[in-house]
Chains A and B, each alone.
Chain A
């Protein structure tokens, strides 16, 4: 059997094992349920509906259906995707290598005429395929249901937007998955790897955004205000120059996280006119490739002890 075929054979078996596992089924089920529950929000009247003064029922319906599809998707599942995709990716990746080492599967495979690079290449292929299935399937299902619930016939542009969004989410998931695989390879211990993956997610999603404001406040000092006359009233408004510096610094700090780059692309895609700045996407792809290559190198160089 040729080298590439051996890796593919390992990938085939590995994928079969992953999708049969209770862990995978549980992850997909929970992710789907969370997305579906997020979808329930689309049936609520959106803010845009109330912005039309003295609208008749007919007008309200018209305005609601005119709301951009991307905004509806964003309102429905944008936050869930940002929060859950990293968790799904970490859960799928944390024991990809360490689990195989701990369970003795690597030893069994190495007892056959295969090299370590066959094993890790096969593992990557199987893992990425299962990740794609685990993330894309529930997302595609939820989006289709969303379209049905909204009662709209998606245009070609809408379909293109949803497919692009799926692709972007897959890249975001890949970045977290690659990181999780890296922890799994380096630590060789599933518990440590899981803890490391979850810590990175918690730090990126919750801790750093809060920490960043504290850091910026330390750097820039307390916010500066200016007085603005509004009719009869004088109101205090934060100094625009201070706010600009604050936002710039916050973006710089948050750009250290994967979540930030995904959010920038997601916002461009769903709320803006489409992706104009590909930096975030390139960062996510480059990060994924770098961590996968690092995992590959570490695994191939390591010997059985």
Chain B
């Protein structure tokens, strides 16, 4: 099966003031079908350039790539026919209404039933009531929803969004998450670039982290968390009803335990390998009230790899 997005050594070099800037540097990316894929990285990491190369609006300097099986250089028009694309900072004609703007795009795409498609998309993003409102009079949240609506007009199997939640308030971000989950349930692959993890981070099934134009890590979120734990260690948090300082030395003598700290009745044990059963049986006599493995968050992964 052809992955929705696949790149091999994709590179973009800009010349700025006589100097070469490698905005995207030998990127190998593979986005699994049906995933919600997060392309993460700080501002200027090269995310937008990569996305524009995928959509054929920026020509690569080297390497190759396909989107839905189409070549990003030779078949960019086909890609933009099939893929719902919401670029960062998109805008519409300010003196036209939401409906007029979408109708214009529907005609541009060449939809067979533009009116029906526009109505469906406006309803899906919750803008049907505001269809007669001019774009210039819309709030940021409404504008963002109109941006999603234009991307959905093609009924795409792949949706590509560049920083879709920047400038959106918490309510808008929540509504956006709901919509993305709904679209993903319909079987669509969703590719989102962002640096705002707290807003949409929980949605991602897969991520890639970009740093200075390079992909430094990619994979499924659960797999990456496992990897991080294996590298940094497994942290167990235990609450004890009968804590004792004696316990520290004894636990540290166990094979695989790197460090143990007791603060009040809370014991934190850092291990180099999974040790849950060993620790539980060892702590039996100290009144274990709760026992949990502290998993790294997406932010931990992002911080470790984004530099």
* Residues of A in contact with B (beta carbons under 8 Å apart): 1, 6, 9-10, 12-14, 16-17, 20-21, 103-105, 107-115, 303-305
- From B88-96, B184-192, B260-268, B275-283, the one touching the partner chain is B88-96
CA A110 to CA B95, docked complex, whole Å: 20
Return B125 CB to nearest CB of chain A, in Å.
15
Task: Show 25 A/B contacts (Cβ-Cβ < 8 Å), sorted by A.
Answer: A1-B110, A9-B104, A12-B104, A14-B93, A16-B100, A17-B96, A20-B96, A103-B94, A104-B89, A105-B91, A107-B87, A107-B89, A108-B90, A108-B92, A108-B147, A108-B150, A110-B57, A111-B80, A111-B86, A112-B80, A112-B105, A113-B109, A113-B110, A303-B58, A305-B49
Closest 7 CB pairs of A and B: A104-B91, A111-B85, A17-B93, A13-B104, A103-B91, A20-B95, A1-B110
B108 and A111 contact, CB distance less than 8 A: no
Residue in B58, B85, B104, B151 with the greatest tally of chain A CB atoms within 10 Å: B104
Quick one: closest B residue to A12, CB to CB?
Answer: B104
- Chain A residues, CB < 8 A from B52: 303-304
* Residues of B in contact with A (beta carbons under 8 Å apart): 49, 52, 55, 57-59, 77-78, 80-81, 85-96, 100, 104-105, 107-110, 147, 150-151
B96 and A111 contact, CB distance less than 8 A: no
- Chain A residues, CB < 8 A from B88: 107
- Chain B residues, CB < 8 A from A16: 93, 96, 100
Given contacts A110-B57, A110-B87, A304-B58, 13 further A-B pairs with CB under 8 A are A1-B108, A9-B107, A9-B108, A12-B104, A13-B104, A14-B93, A103-B91, A108-B87, A108-B90, A108-B150, A111-B90, A112-B105, A114-B108
- Chain B residues, CB < 8 A from A304: 52, 57-58, 87
Quick one: closest B residue to A114, CB to CB?
Answer: B108
Quick one: closest B residue to A109, CB to CB?
Answer: B108
Residue in B77, B90, B109 with the greatest tally of chain A CB atoms within 10 Å: B90
CA A103 to CA B92, docked complex, whole Å: 7
- Chain A residues, CB < 8 A from B92: 104-105, 108
- Chain B residues, CB < 8 A from A114: 80, 108
- Chain A residues, CB < 8 A from B57: 110, 303-304
- Chain B residues, CB < 8 A from A107: 87-91
CA A13 to CA B92, docked complex, whole Å: 11
CA A305 to CA B50, docked complex, whole Å: 11
A112 and B108 contact, CB distance less than 8 A: yes
CA A20 to CA B135, docked complex, whole Å: 13
Contact of A115 among B77, B87, B93, B151 (CB under 8 A): B77
- Chain B residues, CB < 8 A from A115: 77
CA A305 to CA B105, docked complex, whole Å: 22
Return A132 CB to nearest CB of chain B, in Å.
19
Return A99 CB to nearest CB of chain B, in Å.
9
A108 and B58 contact, CB distance less than 8 A: no
A113 and B93 contact, CB distance less than 8 A: no
Contact of B87 among A20, A21, A103, A111 (CB under 8 A): A111
CA A10 to CA B96, docked complex, whole Å: 13
- Chain A residues, CB < 8 A from B58: 303-304
Residue in B49, B88, B92, B151 with the greatest tally of chain A CB atoms within 10 Å: B92
B80 and A113 contact, CB distance less than 8 A: yes
CA A108 to CA B52, docked complex, whole Å: 12
With A107-B91, A112-B109 as given contacts, are A13 and B96 in contact (CB-CB < 8 Å)?
Answer: yes
CA A109 to CA B259, docked complex, whole Å: 57
Quick one: closest A residue to B147, CB to CB?
Answer: A108
Return A9 CB to nearest CB of chain B, in Å.
5
CA A108 to CA B58, docked complex, whole Å: 14
With A104-B89, A112-B108, A114-B108 as given contacts, are A17 and B95 in contact (CB-CB < 8 Å)?
Answer: yes
CA A16 to CA B97, docked complex, whole Å: 11
- Chain A residues, CB < 8 A from B107: 1, 9
- Chain A residues, CB < 8 A from B96: 13, 16-17, 20
CA A9 to CA B109, docked complex, whole Å: 10
B110 and A108 contact, CB distance less than 8 A: no
CA A113 to CA B96, docked complex, whole Å: 21
Return A300 CB to nearest CB of chain B, in Å.
12
Contact of B95 among A6, A21, A109 (CB under 8 A): A21
Quick one: closest A residue to B104, CB to CB?
Answer: A13
Quick one: closest B residue to A110, CB to CB?
Answer: B57
CA A109 to CA B93, docked complex, whole Å: 11
CA A13 to CA B151, docked complex, whole Å: 18
Residue in A9, A12, A16, A103 with the greatest tally of chain B CB atoms within 10 Å: A103
With A9-B104, A304-B57 as given contacts, are A113 and B77 in contact (CB-CB < 8 Å)?
Answer: yes
